[in-house]
Chain A
Amino acid sequence: MDTTYAITLCEGTSCMQQGMRHLSAVLDEQLEKHGLKDRVKINISGCLGMCHKGPIMVVNPGYTLYGGLKEADVVQIVEEHLIKGRPIARLVIEEDHLFNRFFRIFGDVNFFGKQMRIALRNCGIIDPENIDNYLALRGYEALAKALTDMTPQGVIDELKTSGLRGRGGAGFPTGLKWQFTADQDNDEKYVICNADEGDPGAFMDRSAIEGDPHTVLEGMIIGGYAIGATQGIIYIRAEYPLAIERLEKAIDQAREHGLLGDNILDTDFCFDLEIRLGAGAFVCGEETALIQSIEGGRGMPRPRPPYPSVSGLFGKPTLINNVETWANIPVVIVDGGEWFSSIGTEKSKGTKVFALAGKVVNTGLIEVPMGTTLREIIYDIGGGIPNGKSFKAIQTGGPSGGCLPAEYLDTPVDYESLAEAGSIMGSGGMIVIDEDSCMVDIAKFFLEFTQSESCGKCTPCREGTKRMFEILTRITEGKGCEGDIEKLERLGDMIQKSSLCGLGQSAPNPVLSTIKNFREEYEEHIRDHICRAKVCTSLIAYKVNDACVGCGACKRACPVHAISGRTKQKHTIDQTQCVRCGICFTTCKFNAIDKI
């Protein structure tokens, strides 16, 4: 039987500069020449991170890693490896980055072939309930290295070199945060993992914990070592029972193996972890509200300064990072900060996990190097818009993010570029929107969420988002007035600048960005009473057209008996009774009902 192969060519900047395009053309030629085109799939990936050994090619199955390729090497690979099944030893490189394992197994899958899994490196290839799996894949090697070969300051320096920034959304330089906390002179310090993940539909952190809890634990223990803490807390939302269970098991197993508790790995370092559950509040993902919640209080944020690194949990210096940030730490320590900083863009290093959702063919969790463009994510990895619909917008950053239209598709995904475009990185939500969605309705949907989750402490967020929501509701009901858009802009601007915490500061984002990028839709709703996407029920109507054969199916289906007509005769919908539920529209088998 002839083996089918999947070849991944690294098209990171470095490999491209070293001639990958030419090699790619040579490969194509060779495959054509030998009639192998239907047996060999070519994947293009972003930077695989081994730039000094480039150009890089990965051949799967078997995960053979070729580097330093020239044209003659490519020819030889096709002849020896693909046709005769014999990998060429002299071209194989032994780079053994932590993330390679995932690639080894899934590198031939199109969807994964274009990603770079660092935080999610073990998800899907280990049993998360078995610490031995984690240990076999160089698990806790970073901890051992840190405790025995590095000083706490050395760990922090490595982190600074890496350029890692907080993955919870704010993007604060992690090394700097660790430095601030380490610099505090206090015997009692805390390390916290923010696993509250409140964005509706987001599941990056959940998957990371469910798939590989130990990477988070390892990261936290290293963090405790670096700043001088002996106690860590994982604050996880109660709605993640499986993740909680896996965490508990992982903590137990780590303790059994001497990786948590007293004298870890026979050093003087003592550190232990406990789990605290959330209770259903989005605002408890905000760090100061989270701390209040752990202290037993109501999750309401506190003014900063003082920052948690100075005065956090119980008033002590506290290092609080997101799950994904912690998951990156072991890789930074083992593979080095310098290597890590070679991935991504100038100011945003490493990779980011995104939850790709909405109107896109491939939905799911992806992890890509910073700098990958939105277009690549939506079309190359996501597979584009299904059902032949056209792309309308992409919302990044969850309910606090902005909606970017097509002209922003070439925006590279990094903190600065997204902010400049008018959105945010957030924790990684990415929702693709097609022509069938109404931007005003979407803005209203997200504002409803943030208003209901507002903790109620500060006036702009508590009262202001409610008023913005009322205006948006009126607009979607066809009762918008001249001046409403200006009111939304005025309120939105004030709420962004005056709110106490990030929830309020970012709640107006969906509204303001849709007004900026889709103002005509708002104006159409207000002035013309038109919803071009035909979503806002008050602005649409259902009418029977001449294709109607009088079968009566719609009449029977209508919940408010708004349809009348005799059998075999064209039916009519009474517009005064119709509640725009759309059941007749979906029931009709003859396309005899128009949505206008």
Chain B
Amino acid sequence: MKETVNITINGKAYEVDAGQTIMQAADACGYHIPRLCYHPDLSIEGACRVCIVEVEGQRNYVASCAYPVNEGMVIATNSAAIRRARRDIVELLVDNHPQDCHTCERDGNCELQTLAFAMGIRKRHFEGERKKFEQDLSSPSVVRDPEKCILCGRCVRMCKEIQGINALGYANRGFNTVVVPAYNMPFGESVCSHCGQCINVCPTAAFTEHNYTQEVFEKLNDPDFVKVVHIAPAVRAAIGESFGLEPGQDMEQETVAALRRLGFDFVFDTQFAADLTIMEEGSEFLERLQGKGKLPMITSCCPGWINTMEKFHPDFIDNVSTCKSPMSMMSSVIKTYFAKKNNMDPAQLFVVSVMPCTAKKCEAARPEHTIDGRPSTDLVITTRELAWMIKSAGIDFVNLQGEAFDKPLGMSSGAAPIFGVTGGVMEAAVRTAYELYTGETLTDIELEAIRGFEGIKETSLDIDGTTINVAVAHGLGNTARLLDILRKEPNRYHFVEIMACPGGCVGGGGQPYPMVNSIPLDEECLQKRAEVLYGIDRGNTIRRSHENPEIQRLYKEFLGRPLSEISHELLHTEYGQKKPQGIVSGKLTQ
């Protein structure tokens, strides 16, 4: 096949690589053809018809996202006829859409708004009936609003092709077409893992996180409570984007300052509990290495993974670490150790966590994560929700003077921030496990082999003569593939890290929406967020969890040692098989 072909775009001649679509060729030549359902990581649908172009010799318009370039092809992307057709197509979408931009989550950052503006729709020609669907509030994590759906199908494809969960699909025909969970059951009862990737790829507000900002504002104004907040690593790496900053800015100190201005009494760092998790999980791993427990051990900090495991991979329940996630460990420590130390009644502590994650909202509601019958984490809000709260309160975020976390739960080692990237938990665990096992310090602590966005990564380590094989998977589709490998070769790995979101928490379901000229889950953007976290690690003098003096103090004053009885009570949990509704499968009915 020829390497290049000669084509004409809008009257100008170009030589482009062969074997690509018109859209890809046009992008390379500097023509951005408007698009909606197309996403480079997802299969080509050709559904929205926004990207249509004229090709000489073709009677009809073709979808540039799907049509391959050929030698001599003459393409018009912006002719009068195409402009009019495209404009009409976008108007048709707007005509069947709620007209409530002013009060919508995505006002100002909505792909439909951007497109409609670019099309120059001034007068509506085709208005008529508008579809009516109920909002689905059944899930603690993700809210569905089918009236705002423009049926681009990105959510269906994301959930099917990348996550492998297949929680969403099309139903009905014609005007009544809608994207629903199977059997149109409440989303909260479906096979959904709560990972929130549907929110990330949705061009409108058809999917949003279940919003608790009103509740948080109420509590912030309630003098009967002591308001405590802690924030996850990935939040500080991305929150700047919500304020127009380029991806890749570490806004940790500004966020701490903003949280204090919002009215929180204590601002702690979930990264502290990440170190704690490493202590517990590292010790647990060593125990299992010595035969007291099932191998491979699989991490448990990701609630999207836990949800999926309980529904679809219950055969791995005994492999999963009993450790709670850093978020839940943190909230437990706040309502026990911190409360006691400061003579506070835990019932008066209101703990909010800020997470890049929507599944955490589900985790916070688990009955196992309670202290004295009350939830350890009272409310979870996402990075997006916090950004909105800051804007709503009129805080000038980007110009804030930075502040430091409160003590004692604000200090973390460099191993903690990397929890937010795929491979980071494994790296952090290895740094500590190595030393606990051998008594020596691991010098090469940046494990390149498990960094990066390859779907499944593996490496081997020599820990004092023993070879330890570890694997890392991110995205639930890759997770399923890795688990299938494990089912066939149970002894292949000793330790496995799993994150439900592509890229790890930096790409979580609660992270800021993409900038106006970017795409959801843009790999470059995820890479820059990851670099922030790696940068925090490198900038820290203490880079191993067990060297964190506040962690050492916590054990000395309160927990005793890892895996002690108190540790087990507060920092460990258990799992149970959850039969997903409506699924009939021989494998699952055990």
Contacts and interface: CB of A to CB of B under 8 A. Distances in A.
Interface stretch (A230-238, A449-457, A538-546): A449-457
A489 to B, nearest CB: 12
Given A487-B126, A498-B85, A466 B174 contact: yes
A350 interface: no
B42 to A, nearest CB: 14
Contacts of A498: 49, 52, 60-61, 85, 89
A491 B59 CA distance: 17
A467 interface: yes
Interface string A469-512: 01000000000000000010011001011111000010000000
Given A457-B45, A466-B129, A490 B88 contact: yes
A462 B174 contact: yes
B47 A458 contact: yes
B337 interface: no
A452 B174 contact: yes
Contacts, number: 107
A465 B128 CA distance: 12
B581 interface: no
Contacts of A505: 60
B174 A451 contact: yes
A456 to B, nearest CB: 3
Nearest to A463: B92
Interface in B56-73: 59-61, 63, 65-68
B128 A455 contact: no
Given A491-B88, A498-B85, A459 B50 contact: yes
A241 to B, nearest CB: 23
Interface stretch (B165-173, B363-371, B397-405, B454-462): B165-173
Contact of B128 (A470, A494, A496, A500): A470
Contacts of A459: 47-50, 89, 92-93, 150-151
Contacts of B507: none
Most buried by A among B46, B49, B60, B128: B49
Nearest to B89: A459
B147 to A, nearest CB: 14
A296 interface: no
B63 A500 contact: yes
Contacts of B177: 454-457, 462
Contacts of A452: 173-174
A457 B67 contact: no
Nearest to A305: B68
Given A460-B92, A467-B92, A281 B173 contact: yes
A497 B61 contact: yes
A65 interface: no
Contacts of A283: 173
Given A303-B66, A498-B89, A456 B128 contact: no
Contacts of B96: 463
A298 interface: yes
Contacts of B173: 281, 283, 452-456
Contacts of B49: 458-460, 498-500
A517 B69 CA distance: 39
A18 to B, nearest CB: 41
B533 to A, nearest CB: 39
A481 to B, nearest CB: 12
B341 to A, nearest CB: 58
Contact of A457 (B59, B61, B84, B153): B153
A464 interface: yes
B310 interface: no
Most buried by B among A300, A496, A497: A497
Interface string A247-286: 0000000000000000000000000000000000101000
B170 A453 contact: no
Contacts of A470: 128-129
Contact of B126 (A456, A458, A467): A467
A303 B67 contact: yes
A13 B581 CA distance: 69
A464 B92 contact: yes
Interface of A: 281, 283, 298, 300, 302-303, 305, 451-460, 462-467, 470, 487, 490-491, 494, 496-500, 505
10 contacts: A452-B174, A457-B177, A459-B151, A462-B174, A466-B175, A491-B126, A494-B84, A494-B85, A498-B49, A505-B60
Interface of B: 44-50, 52, 59-61, 63, 65-68, 84-85, 88-89, 92-93, 95-96, 125-126, 128-129, 150-151, 153, 169-170, 172-177
Ordered nearest first, which 4 A-B pairs have the shortest CB separation?
A456-B177, A303-B46, A303-B66, A463-B92
